[in-house]
Amino acid sequence: MKRNVTAVAAIMIALISLVGTGLSFAFTAATSNSAYQTVEFTHAEVIASQVTVLDSGLDGSSPGDERFFIVPATSPEGGLLTGSLTVVAPDKPLASQELRRSDLVFQFGAVDDQLVVGGVAVYEIDDPTLALGKVVTRPILGGSGAYAGATGWVDTTHNEDGTWVHVFHYKK
């Protein structure tokens, strides 16, 4: 019987060692490829003629109110930001604010090179865009072309001069 216990113990130690090595390899593989690349998308101030507002018909801010827009990039490579913002919760988190859900497509130069962004952010009810100086982080939902398979996040800054910078942190 003692021989069986010794054999079982030896097998268990060998299995634990193999599992530990496998976990170590998996952890190393996951962390060695964890560096994010960055790319910036910049554009000028958003003007009223670039935004179409679709109001649900109720007075004031209400769920379903939408803003659609097309904004050209200011980078030498060109590109477009197209998208929509939909009011999902007026008077949240404060009475003068609302939550807007975003559906944003950033095209970098070639029409096939796109990053798609979603998420929810807080806006002042009376402001058509993020307040000056505000920074918002949203998830990257995917990409195509040079960004096929991209995941990560984008930090959007509405600069004090009205211009915008979107810094994408992504990996494929």
Query: What is the per-residue pLDDT across 104-120, written as a single tens digit (0 to 9) for each?
Result: 999 999 999 999 999 99
- For the record, the structure tokens of 149 come out as 């398979």
CA distances from 108 to 24, 44, 74, 80, 125 (A): 38, 15, 11, 7, 30
* Residues 52 and 106 both lie in one domain: yes
Q: How many domains does the chain have?
A: 2
> How high is the mean pLDDT of the chain?
86
Grouping H, G, I as helix, E, B as strand and the rest as coil, residue 79 is: strand
* Residues 78 and 136 both lie in one domain: yes
Looking at residue 145, its pLDDT comes to: 98
* Residues 102 and 47 both lie in one domain: yes
What CATH number did the domain enclosing 111 receive? 2.40.480.10
* Residues 23 and 102 both lie in one domain: no
For residue 100, name the pLDDT band (cuts at 50, 70, 90). Answer: very high
What does the DSSP 8-state code read for residue 11? Answer: H
Lowest mean pLDDT among 17-31, 39-53, 68-82: 17-31
* Residues 75 and 50 both lie in one domain: yes
For residue 68, name the pLDDT band (cuts at 50, 70, 90). Answer: very high
Backbone angles phi, psi at 17, to 5 degrees: -65, -45
Looking at residue 4, its pLDDT comes to: 53
* Residues 160 and 90 both lie in one domain: yes
* Residues 105 and 24 both lie in one domain: no
Residue range 95-105: mean pLDDT, rounded: 97
* Residues 96 and 148 both lie in one domain: yes
* Residues 5 and 87 both lie in one domain: no
Looking at residue 130, its pLDDT comes to: 95
pLDDT digits (tens, 9 = 90+) for 73-93: 999 899 999 999 999 999 999
pLDDT digits (tens, 9 = 90+) for 121-148: 999 999 999 999 999 999 999 999 999 9
**Nearest Cα to 170, choosing from 36, 58, 45?**
36
* Residues 23 and 69 both lie in one domain: no
- For the record, the structure tokens of 4 come out as 């069986």
Amino acid 154 reads V
> Within 13 Å and on the Cβ side, how many CA atoms surround 116?
9
Predicted confidence (pLDDT) at residue 19 exceeds the cutoff of 80: no
* Residues 109 and 46 both lie in one domain: yes
* Residues 95 and 129 both lie in one domain: yes
- Domain holding 44, by residue range, is 37-171
